[in-house]
Structure 1
């Protein structure tokens, strides 16, 4: 059974004849008659009574008419939804998420909901490597990533920038500075998270050390942020650098100061192909909408 056969059946039933149905469909009458006969053979039922000059629905045709209308309406709705998916106003957007800072992601999703109310966003929280692999495989449409310099096979589109913070003893003379530069911290032992735990962030910081021409002495190991802050406040002078996730953490005898540079850039990782309309809407919601040529600004 073909959809066009049901459309022809509906046209003949509503127009009351094969000729008028052909005019409505803008095809020849013989094509309408042929498709109706094929449909009747397939169903094993006569759909029209052709015993008089006028064409009338048979009892079987009368019963099947609302079913045919429902099928055609569903087909039209499917085409409409498909068009809306192509336009990015409907569908499902699968996004790899990160935590914080603040409610930035949720504000972005609220903007997206206002722009495309029927577009559903499904968030997936996973380690960085898993997020990138899921984008490459098509399991995710995009993923948020921090501080990543490159990702083979993917395009990285910057969507926001956050400051980095230095944590150091509140009694240290540098705590009096409103903003710190890496050069000022060159001789103070640094507690830096290991590369295995966060390669992009570790590379960002160590690369910034090299660019600034400094090599701070290594301090005690970085464990968790809260434990490291406690040791900075109570032990020998040292410092660490971190980014805000859900506000600055409480810590006794520790001062937090923004770092002049580098900043922490968050990217949207997407496959290296033209962006879908849904992804373009997402970038607009981030405030990083595409230029006229379709590439991100």
Structure 2
């Protein structure tokens, strides 16, 4: 059993897709499939059910996943134990789970962290929310940004900011920029939003707000990528979606306009850290988040 086999297995378990797992690992899909199959042969069990159109963990795979994470976390701790922080050119790496929609704020967090801890390098990890939380609890990540989560085993959640959601409409829409819009005005337009399984907190927030406004939105096609989504709304038949304000600030598209809602829709973002993390470990990250949030007015 090799560490890379465990890394590949965990990546597939988190993505439930061999192609996406290969992309997160920056390697070819055949290598991932081969190493996972080799791991299964060595263990004498089947870890994934590949019989349908989707990949699923078997019972054995579900039991093996937390143990694999523990081994990988132990390997990271072992590397850290022999690292010499006083050595010339030595730097500390902060492993940070990222979240979609952070926009320009993520860059400000990283710059602030570099100012607070000179010589620190940030390693960004993209994974589903549940996987990020489990990696933090298991020690594979130092911290992670998550949205719409109130609690999780083995981690502490510290709210770092709240983001407004902005409605995205075609620039041809008869409305002045930055003029608040009531959701009821959108009742006849298709809503292009991700499938709920991909982002339950966001979808629930928007659909519940629409219900409070007296309508159930017509769900339109979501093309999958942000670039395609903006293009579809900007050039196609009238439709709408929502984006986090920092995400919208990072976009410069003449095809669409971004409007606040009335009443405002907001989503909290929390920094997830291990429940047993010390204040010395957490303080620089929280300070960097505060510095990034304070720069919103300057953006």
TM-score band by shorter chain is: 0.5 to 0.7
In structure 1, how many angstroms separate the alpha carbons of the residues matched to 2:113 and 2:190? Answer: 44
- Residue 207 of structure 1 is matched in structure 2 by 208
Change in 2 beyond 3 A, CA 1:276/1:93: farther
CA shift for structure 1 position 251 = 5.4
Change (3 A) 1:237 1:125: closer
Q: Retained in 1: the 8 A contact 2:178–2:258?
A: no
In structure 1, C-alpha distance between the alignment counterparts of 2:189 and 2:257, rounded to whole Å: 15
Match of 2:282 in 1: 279
Q: 2-side partners of 1:147 and 1:101: how far apart?
A: 14
Which secondary structure state, in structure 2, belongs to the residue aligned with residue 163 of structure 1? strand
- Structure-2 residue corresponding to 1:4: none
Q: Judging changes above 3 Å, is the alpha-carbon distance between structure 1 residues 150 and 221 closer, same or farther for their aligned structure 2 residues?
A: farther
Whether the aligned pair in 2 keeps the contact of 1:188 and 1:216 (CA below 8 Å) is no
Work out whether 1:256 is the aligned partner of 2:258. Answer: yes
Aligned pairs for 1:127-166 within 5 A: 127-166=128-167
State whether residues 101 and 245 of structure 1, in contact with CA within 8 Å, keep that contact through their aligned partners in structure 2. no
Unaligned runs of 5+ in 1: 1-77, 85-89, 289-297
Instruction: Give the length in aligned residue pairs.
Output: 202
> Any gaps of 5 or more consecutive residues in structure 2?
1-80, 292-299
**Which TM-score applies when normalising by structure 2?**
0.55
CA RMSD of aligned residues (A): 3.4
- Any conservation in 2 of the 1:230–1:251 contact (CA below 8 Å)? no
Partner of 2:6: none
Deviation at 1:143, TM superposition (A): 0.6
Query: Structure 1 142/103 Cα, relative in aligned 2: closer, same or farther at 3 Å?
Result: same
Task: Give the direction of change, closer, same or farther, for the CA distance of 1:177–1:113 in structure 2 (3 Å limit).
Answer: closer
2:182 is the counterpart of 1:181 = yes
Match of 1:122, SS state, is strand
Deviation at 1:120, TM superposition (A): 4.8
Aligned residues of 2:137 and 2:275 also touching (Cα < 8 A): no
Aligned partner of 1:195 in structure 2 is 196
* Deviation string, structure 1 residues 275-297 (Cα, Å, up to 9, x no partner): 44121121112118xxxxxxxxx
